[in-house]
Amino acid sequence: MNEGAPEQEVRARVQGGEIVGSVRGSGPPALLLHGGPGMSDYLADLAAELSAVLTVARYQQRGLAPSVVDGDRTVEGHVADAVAVLDALGWDRAWVIGHSWGGHLAMHLAVARSERLLGLMVLDALGALPDGGGEALGENLMRGLTDEQRVRMEEYNVREEAGEGTPEESLAAFNTVWPHYFSDPAAAPPVPEFRLDLERHLMTWPSITAHFEEGTLERGLARLRMPVLVVHGAASPISYAEAERSAALIPGARLQILPGIGHFPWIEEPGSVRREVEAFLAAASAPDGSSR
């Protein structure tokens, strides 16, 4: 398979149905995990960027079509789905690259099934320690809004916490804060055609919170023995302190902060993620094991 070839469909049997994704590119195998949870896969452009140096697979996580909609929404369920995709691809081991919630999931995958990973790249992710930077993320996004927008968002948040939010309100809220994921909100690109499912988003958070309370990643990451790269945009609304805290837990992890870049580096500076990946792969293959 090569960079210019079209994506090929991948289907993995999982609890309750199938996970649907695609694969493209050439080079070592790599699995991309998108953010959310409860969000449609938005990593097509990143997969294209990386396909010159990696054979890249990505998939729609459980909860939204064309993948299975129902079933296990726990962290464990998402980990099992990722392993099923690796199995469907025939990949005994692969690099795993996760963005946002997908980076958090990638850390759980590395802890639970380290034997399936060649290495790990965590890209502007929800952190490994409570609360992963979630509260600060919300505050940072709200800070840039107008008074009118802030009032609407606060009203929406109350409805969401009460379980009364609608998918339409969720999408409208995301559209409101979208520019503030970037270093210069005034220059933010148009909102992509995301799909959001608020109910399925909320169904996963109790499991995420439980793992924070149990210290799953805090204990497990300290036992990892694989190349790990943590990349974070200095202008991301997720504080770079979360990246520092996550990287500090992992023996030999490499931390790279991207100056002047927000939450979506491959959108804000095309090629930036590929450069970090290429340097990471080169270091991982160095005879002195300098990335470990």
Residues 6+ apart with CB under 8 A from 262: 181, 182, 183, 233, 235, 236, 237, 268
CB 176 within 8 A of CB 150: no
Stated pTM of the model: 0.94
Pick the CATH number of 8-132+200-284 from 3.20.20.70, 3.40.50.620, 3.40.50.720, 3.40.50.1820: 3.40.50.1820
Give dist(CA 52, CA 2) in Å, integer. 7
Q: What is the pLDDT of residue 159?
A: 84
Name 165's Cβ contacts closer than 8 Å, sequence gap at least 6. Answer: 156, 159, 198
Tokens 């993948």 map to which residue?
Answer: 67
Query: What is the per-residue pLDDT for 240?
Result: 94
Return the residue matching tokens 């520092």: 244
What pLDDT is stored for residue 69 in this prediction? 84
Q: Please say whether the beta carbons of 49 and 273 come within 8 A.
A: yes
Per-residue pLDDT of the chain (292 residues; tens, 9 = 90+): 555 567 999 999 998 999 999 999 999 999 999 999 999 999 999 999 999 999 999 999 999 999 998 888 899 999 999 999 999 999 999 999 999 999 999 999 999 999 999 999 999 999 999 999 999 999 999 998 999 999 999 988 888 777 787 878 888 899 999 999 999 999 999 998 888 887 788 889 999 999 999 999 999 999 999 999 999 999 999 999 999 999 999 999 999 999 999 999 999 999 999 999 999 999 998 776 544 4
**Where in the chain are the domains?**
8-132+200-284
Collect all residues with Cβ–Cβ distance below 8 Å to 61 and sequence separation of at least 6: 19, 33, 34, 36, 37, 39, 41, 67, 78, 81
pLDDT of residue 196: 85
Residue 111: what pLDDT? 99
pLDDT of residue 292: 45
